[in-house]
Amino acid sequence: MPRSFSVVSPGEIRFGRGEAAGAATWLAARARHVLLVQGANPQRAAFLIEKLHAAQVRVSTFTMAHEPTLTNIEQGVELARQHGVDAVVSLGGGAVIDAGKAIAALVKAHGPLIDYLEVVGTGRILESAPLTFVALPTTAGTGAEVTKNAVINVPTHRRKVSLRDNRMLPDLAIIDPALTDNTPRSVTLASGLDALTQVIEPYICNRATPYTDALCRAAIPQGISALMQLMKQECPQSRDTMAWVSLCGGLALANAGLGVIHGLAGPLGGLCDAPHGALCGSLLPFGLMLNNAHVTDPALLVRFDEIRHWFASALDVPPIQAFDALRDWRRQAGLGSLSTLGVSQDALQSAALAASSASSMKANPVPLTYEQLLGMLQLAWE
């Protein structure tokens, strides 16, 4: 019999091409004034603004062109308070969704917003429920549309940390794969490897459940094939698959956890300007190698064998060469080492030390020492 477990998820999930068109109607039934958090290209959100206006909903906009800093969140919260908005909607990549999620959560907060953050703050509990929040992802990567935390960069501490609360789960998540069509190749690669990492780590972590297994076991081989297809040419069917894999990863990590790859990617992200997905993609083969070398549990070894065979089949290599082949493939596809992403040698020790106490590491399938983490980073840096 499976051990006891619980499941957290958004209030409603809608998946499919064309589903984004229904966001305005859903919001109009619940809000009079919406804060729209959007990415660097405002044209992406034009259709939603038009539909909201047609539904007599006022719209204020906030642009998030990079991964959110605490200052950005403070600015967004102040804007939302000034305009008296009663809902927040994010249309963009993971950074845009995290920004909207945090703004919706902190509008009713009291005192310095940093107090509510993990690690650099006190992890203060939200006194009030967040504003109504809707997420529409335009990349297939982070799965932020179905998670209960927002990752925020705090440059003064050189750390990326989370604001976390079960009530931060979106009220509505709309995954419309059409919004990801023709995403630039480099973004597709980085976000796609992040999505893959987020179905792999929950599958091998120490908190896996029958629910997360059901999501991840099918999604891993599907994601590998779809991402490799998209590196060759644009394909709507593969976009649909990657959107599904990203959704599965978000649900899985929210209900099981992650591991060493995200445990290291988080601190590294605070020490350099590299995108989160690119960091995860560079670390993925080395994290698999390190964990696999120290796993002794027979059931876990079976899972590593499955992952090795899935990659080997897609890359047309013997299973024993799968993780090395993955390392070479992502380099050939255009994603280099940590050094090419701008990570300095000096950052490796700081990241390894910070990862030792990172929340992501608590679910890693095996305990890893500082020396092992540093060794992994050095291999990924070269």
DSSP characters for 311-378?
HHHHHTS-GGGHHHHHHHHHHHHT---TTTTT--HHHHHHHHHHHTT-GGGGGSSS---HHHHHHHHH
pLDDT digits (tens, 9 = 90+) for 127-155: 999 999 999 999 999 999 999 999 999 99
Q: Where are the domains of the chain?
A: 13-178, 184-381
Q: Do domains 13-178 and 184-381 have the same CATH topology?
A: no
What pLDDT does 19 receive? Answer: 97
CATH superfamily membership of 184-381: Dehydroquinate synthase-like - alpha domain (1.20.1090.10)
Find, among 226, 297, 233, 294, the residue nearest to 260 by Cα.
294
Query: Distance of CA 171 to CAs 46, 133, 136, 152, 185, Å?
Result: 22, 6, 11, 21, 31
Rounded CA Rg of the chain:
20
What pLDDT does 13 receive? Answer: 98
Intervals of the chain under pLDDT 50:
1
CATH number of 13-178: 3.40.50.1970
What pLDDT does 192 receive? Answer: 97
What pLDDT does 361 receive? Answer: 87
Question: Both tokens of residue 86?
Answer: 């009663």
What pLDDT does 2 receive? Answer: 62
- Rounded Cα–Cα distance for residues 27 and 29 (Å): 5
Looking at residue 168, the DSSP 8-state letter turns out to be G
pTM of the model: 0.94
- Rounded Cα–Cα distance for residues 88 and 145 (Å): 13
What pLDDT does 358 receive? Answer: 76
**Within the chain, what is the greatest distance between any pair of CA atoms?**
60
